[in-house]
């Protein structure tokens, strides 16, 4: 906001609504619209959304461990009396974030890359820093102020409140997950380092984690290019500063003066907890291997054209041609009724310029709808209808991709026993390195394929060079 009058109006509105609140970290007055009770209630509501969207990782032991580490740090924070909640989310995304009110999340995706309890504590400490400094609340309030400033003269207080509720959920979708900007991130790192030192961990774990995640991002971008998928970006967390950031080094250096003589590293404690952790996609999401999609629970498989980019999203599976001029999407309808041809006819609509054929696709009842510039396959399996929709940007694209689309539709089949084994989700397994073990050897029969050696180095904190140390734990992926 640049107009001083607008700013003044916004500030007046804020004062009228909630007044100022003392910041728990700085002790200074912040313009915030939420009382602590409102902050907690906001966090609780948003928590339900987060759990629904990502799913909670199903391991009571791991949840309990992460919670116990988090609670210890929270007790040493600037808001020790707030009730904190630490949750491991079931997603391969490499991320961690916090909501106002003490709700902290860490993904199973990031846990695979950590190698000690101190590193876990560093991630949680950083997120606790966002909570104690009320970054989420301050950010939400700043955005609300901007919105209210525009229409202050015309709205009544109750309406402001309901508008505020809506804005908060928009902000939840955007800014809170996207990170808080460089200054807030640095403040969270500084606070995190301080809490680590107070809890008995080495604050340098903060820098170690940033290092690991920077490498993860680089390597994943490379692998994603090879696999033709989107890289697994971590938004927010540590994304805004390099590990050699001088202000960060300074912040960690200051905290080191608070550190105890023999800080807890907790290598073995942490690694034993993540033995068996799901790696990459889980079985609920299905897996994509060499452009073949396999889903164990649904018992289906289909192959997309080799040079297309397959995206396995939480709510849909789609493949896009290299030129971006054609797309194939798989949908499922649990209500299959009548014949596949009847279903296809309903899909195409009456009076349309479409041709419907009844087919047998790999022993399954099916139908194919074609129009001059589109096609779709309908296949029935286990009471469900699977719809493979093919769309193009132009008639020329339809001609170019017609055979690829037909091949994809005809590749649909019930999962075989061999595929069932291939489609089982990967997991981290802990082994003890023996003399002579190298990442190249360990990578030889790895399901991670060509990039296995580098991926193993990375998850073990030995990227870009380094070999297993005999007698120590090494994570492999099986
Ligand atoms: Zn952050």
**Predicted pLDDT at 407:** 97
CATH number at residue 471: 3.10.350
Ligand 1 centroid from CA 261, angstroms = 28
Residue 280 pLDDT more than 70?
A: yes
Please give the pLDDT value at position 185.
Answer: 81
User: Of 274, 300, 334, at which residue does a domain stop?
Assistant: 274
Single out the residue in 217, 243, 274 at which a domain terminates: 274
- Say if residue 315 is in the same domain as residue 241: no
For 10-61, how does the pLDDT look when each residue is reduced to its tens digit (9 = 90+)? Answer: 333 333 333 456 677 777 666 566 788 888 988 898 888 888 877 899 999 9
Mean pLDDT of 275-290: 85
Average pLDDT over residues 71-75: 98
Residue 124 alpha carbon to ligand 1 centre in Å: 10
Output the CA–CA distances (angstroms, integers) from residue 338 to 248, 330, 341, 382, 413, in the order listed. 64, 20, 8, 14, 20
Q: Give 232 Cα–ligand 1 centroid separation in angstroms.
A: 17
CA of 110 to the centre of ligand 1 (A): 14
C-alpha 185 to ligand 1 mean position (Å): 5
- Given a cut of 70, whether residue 238 has pLDDT beyond it is no
Considering the domain architecture, whether residues 366 and 265 belong to the same structural domain is answered as no
The helix/strand/coil state of 308 is coil
- Decide the pairing of beta strands 364-371 and 355-361: antiparallel
Calculate the average pLDDT of the chain.
81
Is the same domain home to 242 and 387? Answer: no
Count of domains for the chain: 3
How many whole angstroms from 213 Cα to the centroid of ligand 1? 13
Compute, in angstroms, the gap from residue 104 CA to the centroid of ligand 1.
11
Last residue within a domain, chosen from 274, 309, 326: 274
Could you tell me if 396 and 446 are in contact, meaning their C-beta atoms sit under 8 angstroms apart?
A: no
CA–centroid distance, residue 430 to ligand 1 (Å): 29
With CA atoms as reference, report the closest residue to 91 among 53, 48, 44, 63. Answer: 53
Closest CA to 279 of 152, 159, 111, 433: 111
176 alpha carbon – ligand 1 mean position (Å): 9
Residues 49 and 173 occupy one common structural domain:
yes
pTM (global) more than 0.75: no
Same domain, 268 and 298: no
Q: How far is the CA of 63 from the centre of ligand 1 (A)?
A: 21
The string of pLDDT tens digits covering residues 358-385 is 999 999 999 999 988 889 999 999 999 9
Using the mean position of ligand 1's atoms as its centre, give its distance from the Cα of residue 59 in Å.
25
For 392-403, what is the mean pLDDT?
92
* Interval 68-89 mean pLDDT: 97
Do 318 and 466 share a structural domain? no
User: What is the 8-class DSSP label of residue 450?
Assistant: G
pLDDT of 149 > 50? The answer is no
Residue 446 is part of which domain span? 425-477
Convert the pLDDT of each residue in 268-278 to its tens digit.
999 999 999 99
Ligand 1 centre distance from Cα of residue 214 (Å): 14
Q: How far apart are the CA of 106 and the centre of ligand 1, in A? A: 12
Cα of 150 vs centre of ligand 1, distance in Å, is: 30
What is the distance in A from the centroid of ligand 1 to the CA of 275? 27
- Kindly state whether residues 313 and 449 are assigned to the same domain: no
- Residue 162 half-sphere exposure toward CB, CA atoms < 13 A: 4
Q: Are residues 200 and 291 in the same domain?
A: no
Nearest-angstrom CA–CA distance, 390 and 409: 9
pLDDT, mean of residues 220-239: 63
CA of 240 to the centre of ligand 1 (A): 9
How far is the centre of ligand 1, averaged over its atoms, from the C-alpha of 271 (Å)?
A: 24
pLDDT of residue 138: 67
**What spacing in Å lies between the alpha carbon of 25 and ligand 1's midpoint?**
16
- CATH number (domain holding residue 400): 3.40.1000.10
| 333, 214: one domain | no
Q: What pLDDT was estimated at residue 445?
A: 84
Distance CA 313, CA 333 (A): 17
What is the pLDDT at residue 169?
37
Is residue 129 domain-shared with residue 162, that is, in the same domain?
yes
Report residue 285 as tokens.
């999401």
Phi, psi of 455 (to 5 degrees): -65, -40
User: What integer pLDDT is reported at residue 97 of this predicted model?
Assistant: 85
Scan for tokens 């981290």, then name that residue. 428
Do 376 and 290 sit in the same domain of this protein?
yes
Same domain, 188 and 315: no
């Amino acid at each position: 906001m640049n107009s001083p009058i607008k700013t003044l109006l916004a500030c007046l509105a804020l004062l009228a609504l909630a007044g100022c609140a003392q910041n728990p970290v700085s002790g200074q007055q912040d313009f915030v619209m939420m009382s602590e009770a409102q902050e907690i209630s906001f966090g609780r509501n948003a928590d339900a959304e987060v759990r629904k969207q990502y799913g909670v990782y199903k391991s009571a032991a791991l949840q309990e461990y992460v919670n116990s580490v988090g609670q210890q740090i929270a007790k040493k924070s600037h808001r020790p009396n707030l009730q904190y909640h630490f949750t491991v989310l079931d997603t391969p995304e490499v991320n961690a974030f916090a909501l106002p009110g003490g709700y902290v999340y860490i993904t199973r995706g990031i846990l695979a890359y950590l190698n000690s309890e101190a590193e876990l504590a560093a991630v949680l400490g950083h997120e606790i820093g966002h909570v104690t400094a009320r970054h989420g609340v301050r950010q939400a309030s700043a955005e609300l102020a901007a919105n209210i400033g525009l229409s202050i003269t015309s709205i009544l207080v109750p309406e402001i409140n309901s508008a505020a509720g809506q804005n908060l959920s928009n902000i939840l979708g955007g800014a809170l997950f996207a990170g808080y900007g460089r200054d807030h991130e640095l403040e969270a790192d500084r606070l995190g380092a301080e809490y680590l030192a107070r809890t008995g961990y080495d604050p340098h774990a903060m820098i170690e984690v940033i290092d690991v995640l920077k490498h993860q991002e680089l390597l994943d971008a490379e692998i994603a290019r090879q696999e033709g998928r989107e890289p697994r970006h971590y938004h927010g967390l540590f994304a805004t500063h390099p590990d050699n950031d001088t202000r960060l080094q300074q912040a960690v250096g200051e905290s080191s003066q608070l550190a105890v003589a023999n800080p807890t590293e907790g290598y073995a404690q942490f690694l034993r907890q993540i033995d068996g952790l799901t790696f990459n996609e889980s079985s609920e999401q299905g897996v994509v291997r060499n452009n073949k999609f396999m889903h164990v629970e649904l018992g289906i498989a289909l192959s997309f054209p080799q040079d297309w980019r397959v995206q396995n999203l939480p709510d849909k599976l789609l493949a896009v041609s290299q030129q971006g001029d054609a797309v194939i999407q798989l949908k499922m309808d649990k209500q299959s009724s009548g014949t596949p041809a009847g279903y296809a006819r309903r899909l195409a609509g009456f009076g349309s310029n479409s041709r419907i054929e009844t087919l047998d696709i790999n022993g399954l009842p099916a139908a194919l709808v074609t129009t001059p510039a589109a096609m779709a396959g309908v296949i029935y399996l286990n009471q469900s209808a699977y719809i493979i929709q093919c769309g193009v940007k132009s008639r020329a694209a339809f001609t170019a991709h017609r055979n690829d689309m037909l091949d994809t539709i005809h590749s649909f089949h019930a999962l075989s026993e061999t595929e069932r084994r291939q489609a089982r989700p990967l997991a981290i397994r802990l082994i003890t390195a023996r003399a002579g073990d190298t990442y190249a050897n360990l990578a030889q029969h790895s399901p991670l394929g060509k990039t296995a050696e580098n991926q193993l180095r990375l998850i073990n904190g030995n990227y870009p060079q380094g070999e297993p140390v005999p007698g120590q734990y090494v994570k492999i992926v099986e």
